[in-house]
Amino acid sequence: MFPDTVKAILEGLNKGDFSSEEITTELLARANRHQPDFNAFITLDEEGALAAARQADEARRSGQAGQLLGLPFAHKDLFCTQGLRTTCASRMLESFVPPYESTVAARFRQAGAVCIGKTNMDEFAMGSSNENSHFGAVRNPWNTEYVPGGSSGGSAAAVAGGLVPAATGSDTGGSIRQPAAFCGISGLKPTYGRVSRLGMIAYASSLDQGGPMAHTVEDLAILLGVMAGLDEADSTSAEEAVPDYSAALEQPVKGMKIGLPREIFEAGKVGQTEPAIQAAIESLKSLGAEFVDISLPHIDLSVPAYYVIAPAECSTNLSRFDGVRYGHRCDNPKDLEDLYARSRAEGFGEEVKRRILVGTYALSAGYYDAYYRKAQQIRRLIKQDFAGAFQAVDAILSPVTPGSAFRIGEKTADPVQMYLEDIYTVPVSLAGLPSLAIPAGLLNGLPVGLQLTANYFRESTLMQLGHQFQLHTNWHQQRPSTSGRPD
C-alpha cells in the first residue's frame, strides 16, 4: 500500500521503495474505480500521466532532481494545461484544449510532478457546494450523500478519497478553505499575488488566487514552494521573495498572539462548530499560544459586499465567451444578436447566469455608485480592520464554516443560504490575506475545519501554527471509510 502524503511519497520515491509509474498506475486505477462514487474528475489523462511518470523515473535513475519529481497530483480544471482539455466545468468550454500552459501548471511540470487529470468544480468557480458543474455534482468521500464544498470540491474529494495526495485549487471567496474543511484535508489560500494567475481562467480578477490542497500543512509548505513566486507576465503577481516554507514548520508557537474576533465569538456566531473550535483553542494554548480579543467591526458587511464585487467582475470577465472566438457556439444563428444570446444561454449554467445578471446590474448606469462603489468602500474598511488587528496579533482564528457539510440538494433552492456558507472566509478574501484551513474535529461524522489567517505574505506564520497544531492532534490523520485506498 502506498503512502498518501506528499512528503512520504517523495521520500519513498527517493529511497526506491516504489516508482512513479507504480504509484501513478495505482492512483489512476483508483480514480477510475471511484469516479462513479465521487465524480471528482472531469478529465483523466492516463496516457500523459504514465508517460510523465516513466520520464520522472528515468530522470531519477540518471541522478536528476526536482522538488516534486515523480509525485502524482491533480489540477483543478481552471488551470490551463497545454494540450489537455480545460473546461472550467462549463458547457461553454466543454471542448476547449488550451494551446498554452498556465504558470502554475508549468511550475509543477518543471518540478517533475505528474498530473493525472483535471478535477471537477463549480462552473467557473461559482459555488459553495460543487453542485454547479456541467459534469454533475461532486460527492463528499466521508458521506456521498453530502456536498464536498466548492468550488474546489473535486480537488478536495480527490485528496480526501485517496485518489491523489495533493491537488491545486483556487480561492475567490473561500473555494479552497471551505471544501478543505468539509472533506477533512488541509488547504491554503495564499496572499493575493503570491501565486501567478496567468492561465487561470478568471472569475473575479481582484480576488482569485491559486493554492495547494493536501492532507497536511507539511505538504502544503512543499507545494507552495513550487507554486509561489513572481511571474513577470502577470501584472497581479507580487514581487516578493519566496521563503523556505518548510523551515518554519518546526518553530514553536509559544508566545505567539492569536486574535479571536468578538464579532464571531462574543456574538455567539461560531455555530455548530463551537466544540471543535474551542478544543482547537485549548490545544494551541497548551502549546504556549496567547489569545487576544480583537474587533473586526465591519465583518458582517463582507458577504453583501463580496456578492456585489465578485459578480461585477465575473460579468466583465465572462463577456469574452460570446460564441465567436472560442467556446460553445449555438447552431444556425439567424443573426449576430441571436448568436450571442443563444450561445451564452446554452453555454452557461443557472448559477453563472445569476451572477452575471447581478454583476451587470451592479455596474449599470444609475446603480454603480449605489452598489459597486459602496461595496468597494466597505472592502477598504474591512482591510483597515484587519490591518489594525495585526498590529496586536500574529494570526486570527475562526471557524471555516458555520457547520459541517450539508446534504446534496439541501440549499440549491435558496441561493442566499448557500452564500452565507462563506461568512467566515469572504472577509479574508476581500482583504487579500493568506488563510489556512485545517481539520479540527468531526460533527455528526463529518469533518470540521479551523481557519487561521495571517498578515500579507506571512504564509510561514500559518505553516508554523498549522504544523504545530497537527503535531499535537490527529484530525489530519483521519480518513473516510469510503476512500479509494485499498482495505
Residues with a known catalytic role:
76, 151, 175
Three cell numbers, residue 35: 469516479
Specify the DSSP element, H or E, that contains 278. helix 274-286
SS3 content of the chain, % helix, strand, coil (to 5): 45, 15, 40
3-state SS class at 397:
strand
Report helix angle 20-38 to 6-15, nearest 10.
150
Question: 151 near 422, Cβ under 8 Å?
Answer: no
3-state SS class at 223:
helix
Among candidate residues 360, 324, 354, the one with its CA nearest the CA of residue 341 = 324
- Sheet of 186-189, strand order: 41-44, 114-119, 72-76, 166-171, 209-214, 186-189, 435-443, 446-454, 395-399, 257-261, 290-294
DSSP per-residue codes, 410-435:
SSTT-HHHHHGGGTTTHHHHHHT--E
Please work out, in degrees rounded to the nearest 5, the angle formed at the alpha carbon of residue 301 by the alpha carbons of 297 and 306: 135
The amino acid at residue 403 is G
Question: 152 near 176, Cβ under 8 Å?
Answer: yes
* CB count in 10 Å sphere of residue 485: 16
Q: In 88-165, which residue ranges form alpha helices assigned H by DSSP?
A: 103-110, 153-160
* Alpha carbon distance, N-terminus to C-terminus of the chain: 9
Q: How many helices (H) and strands (E) does the chain have?
A: 16, 11
Sign of torsion over alpha carbons 329, 330, 335, 341 = negative
Q: Strand pairing partners for 293? A: 260
* CB count in 10 Å sphere of residue 381: 16
Three cell numbers, residue 87: 473546461
Three cell numbers, residue 37: 462514487
